[in-house]
Chain A
């Protein structure tokens, strides 16, 4: 996040390069139940981000030494596909994806009733098909829908979105350009029923006032994402079930 650029990210009318206002998120599309083999799955688009999430489990925990005798563990794997960014990404986990996998697992653990499945593992796979800033939030948003689609008992669904700062303005849901040339990024995920924070990161440079404003924008937007998540699940389960053996 260099913060040095000649690029105008917010014009004199407060409009952003993709035509959004400061408090507007990118178009969001969520679909639940998109894969056959997985116990639950979801596809999420936020602007140009395209993300798939799949859930397997609760199932036997591998490696065994990670088993917890009192509850299930959540093992999330966040992965960026090689073609998801402008330069080819070398396949396989890197330090960034390991960190993101860890914090997403922790965020989900708060809402899943893990105590119902001692010694088991709930495996969550997040694949970034196309990245355009905000993939960890899109991934977590998709993962919560996939968990619900898998029928795993949860206290709530977790929506996530980022706020940030570019051209000195506090903005909701930064796009690629705003993320690259902006001054701060604050991804956040909440439990909507209580507004508790389950994921929070920040990097860049923000005053207290700017940060408070960013949190306010993001928490508000999380509730909007939450509604879209619920709609996706309702749509999935209001559809008539396909006949056994029939092509879908």
Chain B
């Protein structure tokens, strides 16, 4: 995300607190901010969720429509995830087609959902080779205070979890819930100095050198990862992130489950 200049005082303050094992909002390095989820908030969508992660707010909506399957997967439904960082959400976000940050965000969320097999795409077949349900997940950042990755993942997962296939609307049978098999949960950490902190807010994100997002499934297996940022992480950092992703992922799954 774009780089506004950050004051030295603020930077030092965050670093000094981290040295004492705490953060500006009194969290420990491993604490998430408060998560609140409102599902089915948009009636025109087939599934929707509005997620607050501290002061970060994201909305995701699902639209499910009949369409033609891909040639190499004639009996599988289609799943597509998009994200937009709209100017409403932050002064540094600009209008226009999605930039590289939005594309990376969408693709990381997509990877978690797709690779975990959260949506059973085999059950989305209407007529093999001809017609399948196409499931579009669109994510919009509404208010940005760091960690869009986890907020967007939560919003997309919660929207899919409550989505209904609109069979009646298209004369393709009854309405039924979208077949969901598990809940992929991402946990993002950033590196500031030599510290790794979970769920960074905007200021923490700005002074961080590297980011790692790890998505786990219900069994605590790893389904997707993405390292970002211009810095590096050590093998020990990686190991710590994996442990935390499993632990925090299970906690979050309980909250939204």
Contact = CB atoms under 8 A, between A and B. Distances in A.
Interface string B218-257: 0011111111111111110011001000100000000000
A1 B116 CA distance: 11
A206 B221 contact: yes
A202 B106 CA distance: 15
Contact of A207 (B221, B233, B235): B221
B143 interface: no
Contacts of B238: 197, 200, 215
Contacts of A110: 230-232
Nearest to A180: B72
B97 to A, nearest CB: 11
A162 interface: no
Interface string B88-110: 00000000000010011011000
Given A98-B100, A204-B223, A219 B230 contact: no
A194 B234 CA distance: 8
Contact of B229 (A96, A106, A219): A106
Interface in A83-137: 95-96, 98-99, 101-103, 106, 109-110
A194 B246 CA distance: 27
Given A197-B227, A203-B115, A219 B107 contact: no
Given A201-B227, A203-B223, A205-B223, A99 B235 contact: no
A206 B107 contact: no
A205 B232 contact: no
A198 B237 CA distance: 12
B205 interface: no
Q: Which 10 A-B pairs have the closest CB atoms?
A: A196-B232, A202-B225, A200-B227, A109-B230, A102-B100, A203-B115, A198-B232, A206-B222, A95-B103, A98-B103
B222 A202 contact: yes
Contacts of B232: 110, 191, 194, 196-198
A109 B228 CA distance: 11
A129 B231 CA distance: 30
A211 interface: yes
Contacts of A212: 239
29 contacts: A95-B107, A99-B107, A101-B100, A102-B103, A102-B228, A103-B104, A103-B227, A106-B229, A106-B230, A110-B231, A110-B232, A195-B235, A197-B232, A197-B233, A197-B238, A198-B232, A199-B227, A200-B212, A201-B227, A202-B222, A202-B226, A203-B115, A203-B224, A205-B115, A205-B221, A207-B222, A211-B222, A211-B242, A219-B235
A208 interface: yes
Contacts of A211: 222, 242
B217 interface: yes
B230 A201 contact: no
Contacts of A194: 232, 234
B106 A95 contact: yes
A1 B107 contact: no
Q: Chain B CB within 10 Å — which of A106, A186, A196, A203 has the most? A: A203
A103 B225 contact: no
